[in-house]
Chains A and B, each alone.
Chain A
Amino acid sequence: MPEPKNIFVVSSEVLDITGYMTEVTDPAYGAVASFVGTVRSPNLGEDVLYIDYEGYEAMIKTQMQVMADELRARLELGHLVLAHRLGRLAPGEASIAIVASSKHRKDALLACQTGIDRAKDLLPVWKYEVNPKSKTWVKGNSSASTPL
């Protein structure tokens, strides 16, 4: 059985979803599942021109390790890729990807569902959304910790 590996990506480059699928694919694991989040437009009734993603890069990777440890404690996973893009993204571009393999389908599928929920709780990333009428920081989620 191959040693399960974690791959964490934080980058301003286009996310290489096909490459991540290749990374997690392994004969020992019969299932590969992926979740990809993309920039949505319109949002709240307004066309989105772009979103600037700001992140605390070192902490994103630390929290990706927390996420991976949580997922592996609950699920029997093979390889796992957690990737988040930063910088300016246009509508339709991928901002986040979770790609997992497992022996059987259920664990890989659950890793994607649970993983995106935890990513939205834990990863220190902020969206600055620009549309023709306004520029705003997107309201965030503070469930990771007790706020000041």
Chain B
Amino acid sequence: MTVQVLFFASLREAANTRELHLSLDSPVSARALANQLENEHVGLELRGALCAINEHYVHPDTLLSEGDTVAFFPPVSGG
């Protein structure tokens, strides 16, 4: 299945990209995807990051589905 991955703020800087398109062999959780991304991107540390799928916050153990957009970002500081 394919998913879109987005990074923001300091994680965008660490990943050196804002957006990735990935093909995954089997359904995985956001946490498993995060582990995979950390292994593939030296310097990317996702511990403490928040995850969202399709613009809604999710628990890291949520499974991804075909076509999902999953975003990883630091704790928010808007306002």
| Inter-chain contact B60/A126, CB cutoff 8 Å | no
Number of interface residues of A (CB under 8 A): 34
Q: Would A95 and B57 be within 8 Å (CB), given that A59-B52, A126-B8, A140-B74 are in contact?
A: no
- Taking CB atoms, residues of chain B closer than 8 Å to A138 are 77
Q: Of B12, B57, B73, which is in contact with the most chain A CB atoms at under 10 Å from its CB?
A: B57
Residues 84-122 of A, flagged 1 when their CB comes within 8 A of B and 0 if not, give: 100000000001100000000000000000001001111
Cross-chain pair count, CB within 8 angstroms: 104
Question: Shortest distance in angstroms between A95's beta carbon and chain B's nearest beta carbon?
Answer: 7
Q: Of B34, B46, B52, which is in contact with the most chain A CB atoms at under 10 Å from its CB?
A: B52
Question: Shortest distance in angstroms between B71's beta carbon and chain A's nearest beta carbon?
Answer: 6
The A interface is mostly helix, strand or loop, or mixed, namely mixed
Q: Which residues of A come within 8 Å of B, CB atoms?
A: 37, 53-56, 58-59, 62-63, 84, 95-96, 116, 119-128, 137-142, 144-148
Q: Which residues of B come within 8 Å of A, CB atoms?
A: 6, 8-10, 12, 30-31, 34, 46-52, 55-60, 71-79
